[in-house]
Amino acid sequence: MLQTFMYAPGDVRVEEAPVPHVNKPTDAVIRVVRACVCGSDLWPFRGIEKPYENGPVTMGHEYIGEIVELGTSVTGLKKGDFVVGSFATSDGTCPICQAGYPSDCVHRDFVGAAQAQYLRVSNAEGTLVRVGDGSTPDEDLFPSLLAASDVFGTGYYGAWAADVTPHTDTAVVVGDGAVGLEAVLSAKMLGAKHVIAMSRHEDRAAIAREFGADQIVAERGEEGIARIKQLTDGLGAQSVVEAVGTQQSMTQAIGSTRRGGSVGFVGVSHDQSIDGEMLFFSAVHVHGGPAPVRRWLPEFVDKIMHREINPGRVFTEELPLEKAAQAYRDMDERREIKVMLNPWA
């Protein structure tokens, strides 16, 4: 089968690899119908993380597909089911899963080989969600179902962790990458009265508006904070999503939050260091980490199947899997927001 590997910064190759099979009775193997490239895949592509230091590594953690092989202990799913799963696998039964944090399951594995024709998924029973009755959904729903696997789930978690509710007057999203855009959509879903997207790219701002952003703020850093305060009676916003993962974006997020408000942080952290005194006197809540996507996945799938939301809008390009390297370059060079891969095209 075809599988995507990263060899070095900027060096992505699609090569022949053995088809995976069930190893443990709790595994499933799926025929990947669509996969995609994540913003977090760009960190190693840019050499900021180096997982390939000991050899090439498989890539990809977002997927929809059809179950082709099932471990003997998996009873809630059947071969042929069309499914979507989280980027982190979870048993669904441990205390951490039960508390609502499946992406921190004590038996968690991070999916890491989804940019391929087939994928083995551990903890299948707790991880995979059957789509509708299990038959293949309309193809125009593929992008949104795929988005639910991570990028939308992560944006949603950002808004949820920032405590967005119908009582939220103003929610701000720092970061106009795909996760940030999904956070805009999510903040609206969760009931924020007024959503401000911080963006300086017109193509991204346009999607933010489609997703319900009431206002776009182009300023960054101290100027961005000042602008948000100006728009919120000098107080800052009740809820702010940090969807980048840099020192600057975190500082901007905390600074834009009113005292007692909440920062949801879902940008995978890189070289961030949060000053304790600044955090203390900001009096904000900070919550984030790997999004517990599986918690909400059935609800997401339901809304997508009923065409109530269209989170797949962040995919601006679709390529055959064999052109994965181009997908990385297109995202790295910001020609595309997010690229979907078809392993069978």
User: CB neighbours of 2 closer than 8 A, spacing ≥ 6?
Assistant: 14, 15, 16, 17, 116, 117, 321, 322, 343
Shortest CB 85 distance to a copy of itself, Å = 19
Among 6, 184, 268, 340, binds a copy of itself (CB under 8 A): 268
Residue 104 is a binding residue for a copy of itself (CB under 8 A):
yes
User: Which 76-95 residues touch a copy of itself, going by CB under 8 A?
Assistant: 95
CB 306 within 8 A of CB 281: no
Instruction: Please give the backbone phi and psi of residue 112, each rounded to the nearest 5 degrees, phi first.
Output: -150, 20
Comparing CB distances to a copy of itself, the nearer of 193 and 285 is: 285
Comparing CB distances to a copy of itself, the nearer of 110 and 344 is: 110
Comparing CB distances to a copy of itself, the nearer of 80 and 100 is: 100
Shortest CB 182 distance to a copy of itself, Å = 18
User: CB neighbours of 64 closer than 8 A, spacing ≥ 6?
Assistant: 32, 33, 34, 82, 83, 84, 131, 142, 145, 146, 149
What string marks each residue from 171 to 200 as x (binds a copy of itself by CB under 8 A) or -?
A: ------------------------------
For a copy of itself (CB under 8 A), the number of binding residues is 42
- Cα–Cα distance between 272 and 258 in angstroms, integer? 21
Instruction: Please give the backbone phi and psi of residue 250, each rounded to the nearest 5 degrees, phi first.
Output: -70, -45
User: Which 269-288 residues touch a copy of itself, going by CB under 8 A?
Assistant: 269-277, 279-288
Residue 111 is a binding residue for a copy of itself (CB under 8 A):
no
| Structure-token pair, residue 46 | 């840019």
- Cα–Cα distance between 226 and 235 in angstroms, integer? 10
Beta strands, E only, 91-149: 118-121, 128-130
Shortest CB 303 distance to a copy of itself, Å = 24
User: Which 197-256 residues touch a copy of itself, going by CB under 8 A?
Assistant: 233-235, 238, 245, 247, 250
Q: Which of the 8 DSSP states describes residue 268? A: P
**Residues linked to residue 197 through DSSP beta bridges, in sequence order:** 173, 216
- Cα–Cα distance between 286 and 155 in angstroms, integer? 15
Comparing CB distances to a copy of itself, the nearer of 258 and 313 is: 258
Among 10, 56, 212, 289, binds a copy of itself (CB under 8 A): 289
Shortest CB 28 distance to a copy of itself, Å = 24
- Cα–Cα distance between 154 and 131 in angstroms, integer? 19
Q: For residue 45, what is the enclosing H or E element?
A: helix 42-45
**Residues linked to residue 28 through DSSP beta bridges, in sequence order:** 70, 121
Residue 51 is a binding residue for a copy of itself (CB under 8 A):
no
| Structure-token pair, residue 190 | 């969760």
Span of 13-21, 97-105, 170-178, 214-222 interacting with a copy of itself by CB under 8 A:
97-105
Residue 96 is a binding residue for a copy of itself (CB under 8 A):
yes
Shortest CB 152 distance to a copy of itself, Å = 19
Residue 166 is a binding residue for a copy of itself (CB under 8 A):
no
**Region of residue 145 (phi > 0: left; psi between -120 and 50: alpha; otherwise: beta):** alpha
User: Which residues contribute to the site for a copy of itself (CB under 8 A)?
Assistant: 95-96, 99-101, 103-104, 106, 233-235, 238, 245, 247, 250, 258-260, 265, 268-277, 279-290, 292
